[in-house]
């Protein structure tokens, strides 16, 4: 048994597959198409250890079609062509069809992905691509349009617990070892694995192989032993991948939604995952202007000062500065009146005939321009009571247009 435990206990049937009920429940289309062997091309994406390769393994065991597997890290166009040629050879493959599983398909460049397209389109190849990246960013749009895109979620703690219990009893797993472990310990291992069943299985195998038997011939696995084998709880975060965008989106929406606890959680998640502190600081500045706005103009001052401080101080102390600014923005009253106003004005100037600037507020820097009407009739506001005067500023065609509509959180200056 030289293969890792995670490899040895992979499911061979849909009944053995654990998790992903949202797409593999018995009433779901993916379950029915696999059972009926009527699969169309498929793109599976989700975090590491969520079961993408295991699902491909199940399909390989249930399909009548020839099944090929390549890894995009090591394969190229020549490997794709070899699969195509063998598939089209009636002596080698009477069906004239094959399923091609490409692990880490996002690693294929455009040329390599384009090489697949004609054969996916004509049905020679049923493609199953697996990726940890969002395929809408990383996979050829033509391939996407011809495939069912399925998002797999991190496995739940209960799912991982079930897989660990099965691994302890299966002969090809750890069934031949006399292991003593409490369910509570397995539950803790399931929890600290961060939704990655491969991490949990690797930890269980390492713990088993490195723990000596007691006088009763038992391998006793404790919380401490398993904790040491996992080291630290994994954060499902890749600063260059899809989770980067999900996390920063959650961070911004938590600030906008005035939830300081969620703000600190997503900030910690980003920092733990290696996010650039200056990137986070810029997001706080944007939120201070876009979402807080004139409800608390000081938020922009605080956010901008924090960005400068982060630049000067750096990590690890920058975490404190970021936290202070983010929580201040989260706790501030919110108004997006100026944000909506400028966007509406930009839409008008880019899509309408908005007329001409009134002559009385135009500039007249050169002698003789006033003779043409430039600046004639302009009323200087400071010459009037309250430093305000009633005069036209918008072009004739835009008179009556409202861009700035203050809400209840904005205090107008009297």
- Over residues 14-67, the pLDDT tens digits come to 888 998 888 888 888 888 888 888 888 999 988 888 889 889 888 888 888 888
In this prediction, residues 289-297 reach a mean pLDDT of: 94
Q: Which pLDDT score, from 0 to 100, does residue 63 have?
A: 86
Query: CA 162 to CA 91: how far, in whole Å?
Result: 43
pLDDT of residue 132: 85
**Each residue's pLDDT tens digit, 175-187:** 888 889 999 989 9
Question: How far is residue 54 from each of residues 74, 242, 280, measured CA to CA in Å?
Answer: 20, 21, 36
pLDDT in tens, 263-291: 999 999 888 878 889 999 999 999 999 99
Say which residue, 243 or 238, is predicted with more confidence.
243
Beta-bridge partner residues of 125: 98
End-to-end Cα distance, the chain: 81
As a whole number, mean pLDDT of residues 243-253 equals 85
- Give the CB-side neighbour count of residue 48, counting CA atoms within 13 A: 12
Architecture of domain 157-230: Orthogonal Bundle (1.10)
Sheet with 148-151, side-by-side order of all strands: 66-71, 98-103, 125-131, 42-45, 148-151
Q: Is the pLDDT of residue 412 over 80?
A: no
Give residue 243's pLDDT: 67
pLDDT at position 413 over 90: no
For residue 414, name the pLDDT band (cuts at 50, 70, 90).
very low
In this predicted structure, what is the pLDDT of residue 342?
Answer: 92
The topology (CATH level 3) of 242-331 is Zinc Finger, Delta Prime; domain 3 (1.20.272)
- What pLDDT digit, counting tens, does each position of 137-168 carry? 888 888 898 888 999 888 888 999 999 999 99
Under the banding of pLDDT at 50, 70 and 90, the label for residue 239 is low
Percent of the chain at pLDDT > 70 equals 95
The pLDDT of residue 114? 86
For the chain, which residues make up each domain, given as ranges?
Answer: 20-151, 157-230, 242-331
List of residues 6+ apart from 358 with CB closer than 8 A: 392, 393, 394, 395, 396
Q: Which CATH number fits domain 20-151: 3.40.50.720, 3.90.1310.10, 3.40.50.300, 3.40.50.2300?
A: 3.40.50.300
Average pLDDT, whole number, for the chain? 87
For CA atoms 57, 59, 61, 64, the dihedral sign is negative
Q: What proportion of the chain, given as a percentage, has pLDDT over 90? A: 29
């Amino acid at each position: 048994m030289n293969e890792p435990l995670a490899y040895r206990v992979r499911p061979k049937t849909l009944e053995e597959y654990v998790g992903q009920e949202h797409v593999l429940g018995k009433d779901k289309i993916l379950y029915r198409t696999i059972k009926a062997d009527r699969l169309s091309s498929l793109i599976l994406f989700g975090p590491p250890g969520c079961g993408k390769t295991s699902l491909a393994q199940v399909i390989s065991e249930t399909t009548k079609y020839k099944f090929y597997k390549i890894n995009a890290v090591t394969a190229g166009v020549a490997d794709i062509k070899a699969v195509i040629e063998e598939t089209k050879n009636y002596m080698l493959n009477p069906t004239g069809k094959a399923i091609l599983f490409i692990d880490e398909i996002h690693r294929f460049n455009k040329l390599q992905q384009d090489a697949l397209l004609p054969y996916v389109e004509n049905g020679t190849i049923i493609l199953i691509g697996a990726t940890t990246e969002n395929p809408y960013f990383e996979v050829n749009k033509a391939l996407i349009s011809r495939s069912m895109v399925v998002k797999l979620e991190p496995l739940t703690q209960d799912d991982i617990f079930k897989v660990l219990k099965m691994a302890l009893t299966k002969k090809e797993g750890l069934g031949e070892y006399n292991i003593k472990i409490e369910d509570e310990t397995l539950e803790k291992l399931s929890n600290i694995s961060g939704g990655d069943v491969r991490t949990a299985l690797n930890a269980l195998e390492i713990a088993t192989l490195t723990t000596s038997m007691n006088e009763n011939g038992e391998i006793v696995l404790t919380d401490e032993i398993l904790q040491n084998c996992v080291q630290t709880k994994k954060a499902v975060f890749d600063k260059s991948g899809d989770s980067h965008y999900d996390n920063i989106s959650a961070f911004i929406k938590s600030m906008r939604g005035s939830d300081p606890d969620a703000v600190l959680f997503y900030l910690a998640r980003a920092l733990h995952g290696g996010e650039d502190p200056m990137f986070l600081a810029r997001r706080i500045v944007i939120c201070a202007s876009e979402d807080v706005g004139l409800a608390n103009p000081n938020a922009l001052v605080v956010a901008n000062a924090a960005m400068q401080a982060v630049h000067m101080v750096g990590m690890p102390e920058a975490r404190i500065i970021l936290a202070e600014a983010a929580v201040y923005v989260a706790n501030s009253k919110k108004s997006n009146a100026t944000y909506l106003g400028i966007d509406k004005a930009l839409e008008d100037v880019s899509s309408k005939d908005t007329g001409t600037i009134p002559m009385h507020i135009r500039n007249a820097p050169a002698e003789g321009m006033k003779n043409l009407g430039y600046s004639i009739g302009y009323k200087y506001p400071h010459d009037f009571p309250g430093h305000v005067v009633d005069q036209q500023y918008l072009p004739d065609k835009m008179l009556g247009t409202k861009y700035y509509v203050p809400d209840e959180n904005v205090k107008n200056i009297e």
